[in-house]
Amino acid sequence: MKEKLTNYIRAAYPVVYITTFEEPRIESDLKAVCDNLGYGLRCWSITEGLLDVTTGAAQDLQDPIDVLASIPEMPEKTVVLLRDFHAFLGDETQPINPLIARTIRDLVRTLKTRQQCLVICAPLLRLPDELEREIVVIEHELPGRSDLGAVIDGIVESAGLPMIVGDEKERLLDSCMGLTTSEAENALALSFVEVAGLSPAIVARQKAEAVRKGQLLEIYENPGSLDDVGGLDALKAWLLQRQDAFGSRAKEFGLPSPKGLLMVGLPGCGKSLCAKATAAAWERPLLRLDCGRLFGGLVGESERNLRRVIQVAEAVAPCVLWIDEIEKGLSGSSSSSSTDGGTSARVLGSMLSWMEEKTAAVFVIATANDVSALPPELLRKGRFDETFFVDLPSEEERQKILEIHINKRGRDPKLFDLVSLAKACDQFSGAEIESAIVAGMFAAFESGQELETSHVGEAIKETVPLAQTAREKISSLRDWAKTRARPAATLVGKSLGRKLEPLS
């Protein structure tokens, strides 16, 4: 950030807009940059007026127009930091005050020639059309390991704790990555209050809450295990082969960082389950992006949302970023210039270029049910390392899924006739098998009996699987997958009387 600020100030950019929740970090960076360049620094806020940071002199200027008007009187080579100035730049309900817009535009030339720079620091970006060309926007990066290390050291010192070093510090730093400095400080302080020490688990819990507040991402702390996934052996083997791929040994060996995986398939067949289990197997945090939420109503909001998602994912890296139902967010991209002013297409473009160029260890798992809605650019070779097709489970897989879910409900699978149950639930998805077990449990409970094969068998008989009502959809998905995806299981496709041939 310091380097960027230095360059913009030296290049006489008149107005720089920084979006951040971390005012103090910006202020200290800006102070360091100004000291280094020999510039003066003045800070303004509606509550405190204008303060000359170098001399400590304060001016009682509350009105934003008065502050702007006072800038030409300030010495050359002065940076003026305007806190929360977004509040005066209009929003979707009301345009910018024309006097403020005109004053800033009039100021621009003076600012350039007098080497003065306005730095707007605000948590939200509000860029009125009138000023779009005059303002350069910088997104404040989340703090890195050294910034957060300083926060940890500060808390250790003020709490009188013994120094934290080595692996312990690294683990604590991992848990802090993705938080702002003040969020990290709060989480660490809370940990101290709760357990009289600094616990990575408590910080991770607070991080999950902080990320959830942003409404775009969710962090899963205990996402499950690959043992919870019945079948899908080819997919599991592929994932296990890459579990150490972000480590230093893999790098030394010359392996490229894995980019990501696209899982396409029928609903309820375990795509989400696999995404969660991958993060658990790799011992990496899982971030889930709800693709539909990326799209905001305001101009540029969707692109900004994507940038925020990328920022958090890169800060939390190494991690797994799961983009659930990717088709829902991006389906409009091909026709979007006519339907949404090109927003989906732009978001897709930004996402694809990030996926291709990313150097951070973020493994993207995208899941999709409807391939017809997937933009062709996403499927082009090189975007994902692999595309897997997740079909209905084979008989053998159904047996395994029955075993997993009976076991999960505290029953011994050996006491059940899994072979006949697996035969009976032909064409069922994993989710439908699970529901049949639950329905069987309700029936057993109602009749005051312990759960038996017959209860599950009855529930299976009463279920009409989705596969029966969506034959055409399934068959076209299988046709699509034949040439474009690898089967996630080596024994797939017997269900609808059709054998899928694995691609070589």
Residues near ligand ATP (CB under 6 A) are: 229-232, 265, 267-273, 367, 369, 393, 401, 404, 430-431, 434
Shortest reach from residue 175's CB to ligand ATP, in Å = 27
Shortest reach from residue 92's CB to ligand ATP, in Å = 33
Torsions phi, psi for 44 (to 5 deg): -125, 140
Identify which of 123, 176, 178 has the alpha carbon closest to the alpha carbon of residue 151: 176
Report whether 119 contacts 79 (CB < 8 A).
Answer: yes
| Residue whose C-beta lies closest to ligand ATP | 430
Shortest reach from residue 465's CB to ligand ATP, in Å = 13
Shortest reach from residue 322's CB to ligand ATP, in Å = 10
* 152 vs 404, beta carbon nearer ligand ATP: 404
Shortest reach from residue 421's CB to ligand ATP, in Å = 14
Identify which of 475, 275, 266, 504 has the alpha carbon closest to the alpha carbon of residue 389: 266
Shortest reach from residue 443's CB to ligand ATP, in Å = 20
Give the burial class of 263: count Cβ atoms within 10 A of its Cβ; 0-12 exposed, 13-18 middle, 19 or more buried: buried
β pairing state of 49-52 and 58-59: antiparallel
Shortest reach from residue 325's CB to ligand ATP, in Å = 7
The residues near 126 (Cβ < 8 Å, ≥ 6 apart) are 86, 89, 90, 91
DSSP H stretches of helix in 196-288: 200-213, 233-241, 248-253, 271-282
The residues near 14 (Cβ < 8 Å, ≥ 6 apart) are 107, 108, 111, 112, 116, 117, 118, 134
* 236 vs 304, beta carbon nearer ligand ATP: 236
Report whether 487 contacts 502 (CB < 8 A).
Answer: yes
* 269 vs 323, beta carbon nearer ligand ATP: 269
Report whether 280 contacts 239 (CB < 8 A).
Answer: no
Residue 384: CB atoms within 10 A of its CB come to: 20
Shortest reach from residue 37's CB to ligand ATP, in Å = 53
Shortest reach from residue 224's CB to ligand ATP, in Å = 8
Identify which of 373, 379, 375, 365 has the alpha carbon closest to the alpha carbon of residue 476: 373
Shortest reach from residue 193's CB to ligand ATP, in Å = 36
* 175 vs 394, beta carbon nearer ligand ATP: 394
β pairing state of 286-290 and 217-220: antiparallel
* 228 vs 314, beta carbon nearer ligand ATP: 228
The residues near 400 (Cβ < 8 Å, ≥ 6 apart) are 230, 231, 393
**Dihedral of the CA atoms 346, 351, 353, 355 (nearest 10)?**
-170
Q: In the beta sheet, which residues pair with residue 388? A: 263, 486
